[in-house]
Structure 1
Amino acid sequence: MSSMLFSWKGLRAGKYDEGVLEALNRDEAVYLLKTDGVVITQLSQSDVLPKTKPIEDSSAKKKRRGSANLKQLVIFTKKLQTMLVAGLSIVETFEMLKDQTPSKMLPILEEMLEDINQGVPLSEAFGKHDHVFDVVFVNMVRAGESSGQLDEFLLKVIDYLERQIRIRKSIKAALTYPVVLLVVAIAVVACMLIMVVPVFEELFSGSGNQLPLATQIIVDISNGVRDPATMLPILSIIGGIILLHKILIKKYDGYAYSVDKFALRLPIVKGMILNSTLSKISMVQGNLYEAGVSMVETMDISMSTVKSRPIKSSLDDVKRGVYSGEPLSSLFKSFPEIYPPTFTALVEVGEKSGNLGDMFSSISQYFSENFDDSVKEFTDLLEPIMIIFMGVTIGFILIAMYLPMFNIGNAI
């Protein structure tokens, strides 16, 4: 479906402004403008881009103050929810939280308390600190304010944050043992190349015999490792490749998309990425949909939580299909490589039964359990691979060092 241009006039940040935007239809144009904080006074279809002065967001100029990690956010949200359930007002709650908050997060609470005292809604106060409170956090709070069930939605925020922590812990736990093995293997190999191999080399040099190929390879590698003139260019090349990779990912979307797409082709890695992502977007969509947020907006919010570019692109296509009135399950079925039959079937059941919000919650739980299985499968596979790699590498060095001795023994 082709996009259209719409010219608009309205109020933004208390000032009159006008501009042009691209959207599929008028409804999407209205939604995009409202999301951008514009109070629309005029909106019409346009064929020509007007020469307008770019709009600068004053909030972007404002220096970001304060920070918080996920664990601190969970503790903060739990305290906030508990105090609200106890009947304290928002102002009283934030006054008390100021005395219980880590110093790095304190500037955020001070600014939020100032905004709340001026009548700014809580969700908007959170939204001004998007470097700490992501779009899911802010919209969950907004949904809680709109429905009058803020304490209930704060519990859902806590669940969302705790799942994020659990996913990170699972990945960290899965990688810890293999990484330790890799570090030990590298340390042992480096020690042998730097300290052990030179001793054998000196021993063999006096014999006058030609070294076996395997032994000569190890000796050459040892000499290269101990020679700065050889190692510095190699390390520089490796560092340059890593730096170039990071630059290409940041500046070229096509390259970054290809990298993410390649990750989705790796069997076990694909399972981990898809299960964690599908669990997350299902939870977000289920909670927001139950709160009365439109499906288009929930899709938009879900996209902001996804890091994989192919998955994000598929969600954008699904969102465009929702604008056209197509069934959600049919749209997901258009991307079988991302959304498995179980996912699309459960979404279809939710659509037909009218319990899409509850069904998304079930889907989230299902793929969360699948993610745990994927992590275990990844760990079970990676550990023996690392052990075999370590054994083969060290074994090859040892055999290569003793081969000349075997040859001498056979000659005798």
Structure 2
Amino acid sequence: MALYQYVAVDPAGKRVRGMQDAANPVDLELRLKRGGLDLISARPARASQLALGRRVRRQELITFFFNLESLTQAGVPLLESLADLRDTMNDPAFRQIIANMIEGVEGGQRLSQAMAPYPRVFEPVHVSLVRAGEQSGRLAEVFGHITESLKWQDELAAQTRQLMLYPAMVLVVVLAVFLFLMLYLVPQLSGFMQNIGQAVPLQTQLLIAVSEAVASYWYLAAGLLAGAAAGIWLGARLMPGLESRIDGLKLKLWLVGPILHKIILARFANTFAMMYASGISILECIAAARDIAGNRVVAASLEQVGRRIEEGKNLTQSFAEVGLFPPLVLRMLRVGESTGALDKALLNVTYFYDRDVRESVKRIQTMIGPFLTLVLGALIGWVMFSVLMPVYDVISRTRF
């Protein structure tokens, strides 16, 4: 079969673009028709398009796995469940992916095999969990685990966005006020201050010099910042060692670094616990957690842990020798190993770090707001003092 890039129309008359496996254009039209789409045009997809693929919003995935859990628990056959989901999903691209999965299952594939060709939609962790559920006969339970994990990830992502968005907004306001003062207000007043007929104070001279520098060289500063960002991005792509150093630096950043570290550890513990509870081996759990770590330093540490376990060392000792994981994680691993409830112990780690991240985000917001407000007040105060001081001197001399 070949992969075609197509343009079709849904029942509401809206154009839909996507990609679909088919033997030929006629077969493609029939497949799209079964998915509720009418084909307009199609052409074979290029290699670059095959690599890019299409992502699906996390909310759509949560709905997908939640409904699968409910339907499976109710005893609805898998093919009927997938057909219902295909007809009810909002995202046309996701509907098409589900239609492809239905064809794969009808052709003799298991659900995990039908999910595997879409790694940008279904993470390898999800595929491994579904495979384990198929082997153990606990698919409904696995769907429930995946749903809860996706919900938790969505909340964690919202907290991370909240952590970055608020300081960024306040910083933008401070920068906008600074540029307004330097590029508009101070130049308007500088002529008056220089023609008042007396020596201009030092702080006023400094203000005028800063304003002139900003007005003359702002584009140079913006270009340097953009060039530095582009250089770092390009260097990280061309030199893997540099990207690892950047990831290590992220974990050491003031205020943000410790929170990022806790978020990564919480994601690791949640993934590990979910997979281990589904009957997946420890080495596979570590490999999956390594792939979704999102930080090369943590991923390299997990790879070292996996090698130590293969050498015959126990889990807690392997994690302790790496040196990246805090005492709380090691203590919970030790308790989980000794009691045989490793998944529950790691869920406790997830709960602890999740709560700690929430509290840390609130603390940072409480600190950053007043701090940046103080910076803004100091900036405005400096400008006003530098402007009003010469005026006050003129008024005082005129009076006496």
Shift of 1:298: 0.8
Show CA shifts across 1:369-408 (max 9, x none).
Answer: 2222222222222222222222222222222222322343
Letter in 2 for 1:319: G
Please name the residue that 2:394 is paired with: 408
Query: Structure 1: how far apart are the matches of 2:48 and 2:284?
Result: 23
Matched, 1:390 2:353: no
Cα RMSD between the aligned structures? Answer: 2.2
Letter in 2 for 1:393: L
Please name the residue that 2:225 is paired with: 238
Query: Structure 1: how far apart are the matches of 2:326 and 2:312?
Result: 22
Letter in 1 for 2:238: K
Residue from 154, 157, 171 that aligns with 2:143: 154
Query: Structure 2: how far apart are the matches of 1:71 and 1:217?
Result: 53
Residue from 368, 385, 388 that aligns with 2:354: 368
Shift of 1:320: 0.4
Query: Structure 2: how far apart are the matches of 1:410 and 1:317?
Result: 74
Shift of 1:216: 2.3
The unaligned stretches of length 5 or more in structure 2 are 1-46
Structure 1 residues 181, 66: closer, same or farther in 2, change over 3 A? closer
Structure 1 residues 104, 374: closer, same or farther in 2, change over 3 A? same
Query: Structure 1: how far apart are the matches of 2:56 and 2:93?
Result: 7
Query: Structure 2: how far apart are the matches of 1:368 and 1:82?
Result: 27
Query: Structure 1: how far apart are the matches of 2:108 and 2:237?
Result: 39
Query: Structure 1: how far apart are the matches of 2:387 and 2:58?
Result: 51
Show CA shifts across 1:216-259 (max 9, x none).
Answer: 232233334444xx333222111101111111222222222222
Please name the residue that 1:70 is paired with: 58
Q: Is the 8 A contact 1:78 1:158 kept in 2?
A: yes
Please name the residue that 2:27 is paired with: none
Query: Structure 2: how far apart are the matches of 1:264 and 1:83?
Result: 42
Shift of 1:343: 1.2
Show CA shifts across 1:23-82 (max 9, x none).
Answer: xxxxxxxxxxxxxxxxxxxxxxxxxxxxxxxxxxxx998455543111121112212222
Alignment of 1:177-326 (within 5 A): 177-227=166-216, 230-326=217-313
Q: Is the 8 A contact 1:347 1:356 kept in 2?
A: yes
Query: Structure 1: how far apart are the matches of 2:263 and 2:170?
Result: 26
Structure 1 residues 146, 214: closer, same or farther in 2, change over 3 A? farther
Shift of 1:119: 1.2
TM-score using structure 1 length = 0.79
Query: Structure 1: how far apart are the matches of 2:245 and 2:397?
Result: 57
* 1:97 counterpart SS class: helix
Matched, 1:168 2:157: yes
* 1:99 counterpart SS class: helix
Alignment of 1:27-46 (within 5 A): none
Matched, 1:135 2:124: yes
Query: Structure 2: how far apart are the matches of 1:266 and 1:178?
Result: 15
* 1:133 counterpart SS class: coil
Letter in 1 for 2:284: E
Query: Structure 2: how far apart are the matches of 1:365 and 1:93?
Result: 32
Q: Is the 8 A contact 2:196 2:394 kept in 1?
A: no
Alignment of 1:3-22 (within 5 A): none
Query: Structure 2: how far apart are the matches of 1:332 and 1:406?
Result: 68
Shift of 1:411: 4.7
* 1:257 counterpart SS class: helix
Residue from 372, 376, 381 that aligns with 2:367: 381
Letter in 1 for 2:148: D
Please name the residue that 1:6 is paired with: none
Letter in 2 for 1:332: F
Shift of 1:185: 1.9
Query: Structure 2: how far apart are the matches of 1:206 and 1:164?
Result: 62
Please name the residue that 2:22 is paired with: none
Please name the residue that 2:103 is paired with: 114
Letter in 2 for 1:360: L
Letter in 1 for 2:231: L
Count of aligned pairs: 351
Identity level (%): 23
Structure 1 residues 310, 384: closer, same or farther in 2, change over 3 A? same
Query: Structure 2: how far apart are the matches of 1:365 and 1:305?
Result: 19
Residue from 112, 128, 133 that aligns with 1:123: 112
* 1:130 counterpart SS class: coil
Query: Structure 2: how far apart are the matches of 1:178 and 1:361?
Result: 31
Structure 1 residues 64, 91: closer, same or farther in 2, change over 3 A? farther
Show CA shifts across 1:288-345 (max 9, x none).
Answer: 2222211111110000110122211111111100101101111211244x31112101
Residue from 72, 79, 88 that aligns with 2:67: 79
Structure 1 residues 65, 288: closer, same or farther in 2, change over 3 A? same
* 1:68 counterpart SS class: coil
Query: Structure 2: how far apart are the matches of 1:147 and 1:178?
Result: 47
Q: Which moved more, 1:134-143 or 1:215-224?
A: 215-224
Structure 1 residues 334, 248: closer, same or farther in 2, change over 3 A? same
Query: Structure 2: how far apart are the matches of 1:178 and 1:66?
Result: 31
Q: Is the 8 A contact 2:305 2:322 kept in 1?
A: no
Letter in 2 for 1:144: G
Q: Is the 8 A contact 1:126 1:138 kept in 2?
A: yes
Query: Structure 1: how far apart are the matches of 2:264 and 2:59?
Result: 20
